[in-house]
Structure 1
Amino acid sequence: MAKRVGRADTFFKRLRGLMFSRTFPGDIDALMLSPCNAVHTFFMRYSLDVLFLDSNMKVLHIIYGMKPGKLSPVIKDARYVVEMAVGSAGSSGVCVGDLLVWD
């Protein structure tokens, strides 16, 4: 699904996330935020696919094509959020209930 995953695992990295970028960064395929159970797309110019994962990496919720200027719901048991370029989640075939493995 993603070979190059960036990490946002400090307060400031999570706060910054992908804000102010014009396109999804070319040096990564996904950005994993932790701990995290909700995201926003304020100050962004492109849509994202967003996966919400629990502490076991089980997919709890997926937002396909989250548009700029939006706020996601809070996903109660989510521990991680993975942001991907729009279309990535759908083309990978990932579904709610899947377990993701990270090397």
Structure 2
Amino acid sequence: MRTAPLAVDGRPVATTVVADTYLARLRGMLGRTPLPEAMFLVPCASVHGVGMRTSLDVAFVAPDGEVLGTGVLRPYAFLGAPRGTRAVLEAPTGSFARWGLTTGARLARPDTSPLHA
């Protein structure tokens, strides 16, 4: 898996692990110690917490990088995505509050191209 810088509304906030293969998306954050700063799952339209021991912040992302919704994924729970979701960003709980990531924010690389393009 590769990594990419993450910017929220043009502000660099973290380095993400990009899960862009079936197996990488299937594993997600499961069994990672310590957790990465963030994980970007693309393409992805829903997430589950099966096997997880901790909750995660989750953002549902449109093709242009707009955050369509956010939530907290609890262990063994499932979160479906809003219509138009192309990717999902996961991070340790509390990360989104520190980064100012809310619905309507834009996720991008510092070079301004969409993270998932």
Q: Is TM more than 0.5 here?
A: yes
User: Does structure 1 conserve the Cα–Cα contact (< 8 Å) formed by 2:66 and 2:106?
Assistant: yes
Structure-2 change in CA distance of 1:47 and 1:24 (3 Å): farther
Q: 2:15 matched to 1:7? A: no
Q: Normalising by structure 1, report the TM-score.
A: 0.87
Listed as ranges, the gaps of 5+ residues in structure 2 are 1-7, 111-117
Distance 1:42 1:20 in 2: 11
Distance in 2 (CA, whole Å) between partners of 1:42 and 1:101 is 29
Residues 44-73 of structure 1 show CA distances to partners (whole Å, capped at 9, x for unaligned) of: 00000001100000000100x321010002
- Give distance in 1, aligned partners of 2:104 and 2:81: 18
Structure 1: stretches of 5+ with no match in the other structure: none
The match for 1:97 among 101, 104, 112 is 104
Matches within 5 A, 1:51-62: 51-62=59-70
- Quick one: distance in 1 between partners of 2:106 and 2:22? 26
Find the counterpart in structure 2 of residue 49 from structure 1: 57
**Aligned partners of 1:38 and 1:75 also within 8 Å:** no
Q: Please report how far the alpha carbon of residue 40 of structure 1 lies from its aligned counterpart in structure 2 after TM superposition.
A: 0.3
Counterparts of 1:68 and 1:15, CA distance in 2: 15
Other-structure match for 1:18 = 29
State the AA in 2 paired with 1:43. Answer: G
CA RMSD of aligned residues (A): 1.5
Name whichever of 71-80 and 82-91 sits farther off. Answer: 71-80
CA contact (8 A) 1:24 1:85 kept: no
SS of 2:24's partner is helix
